[in-house]
Amino acid sequence: MKGRKPGRREAMADHDIEAARDIDALVFDVLGTLVDDVAGIRAGIGELTTDAARAERLYALWQEHTDTEQ
């Protein structure tokens, strides 16, 4: 993004996705909001890596996890 200082999202994109394994919890605030979680999660993962195949694998892993937890 031209003309902006890198924010947290831009900074995270520079790190290896393996660092995300240190995350203990994700919190979604969906009260009063209709959420397209499929597109939102896929877009969020896509912001963390430029490797489309890796992003799809991570998304599939997320789907497997939520399928067993819901």
pLDDT value at residue 1 = 44
pLDDT value at residue 57 = 92
CB neighbour class for 12 (10 Å; exposed up to 12, middle 13-18, buried from 19):
middle
List the one residue out of 31, 30, 65 whose CA is nearest residue 45. 65
Sites in the chain below the pLDDT cut of 70: 1-18, 29-36, 70
Q: For the chain, first and last CA: distance in Å?
A: 37
**So where are the chain's domains?**
8-69
> Tell me, what DSSP letter sits at residue 35?
-
Is the pTM here over 0.95, yes or no? no
pLDDT value at residue 13 = 54
pLDDT value at residue 60 = 92
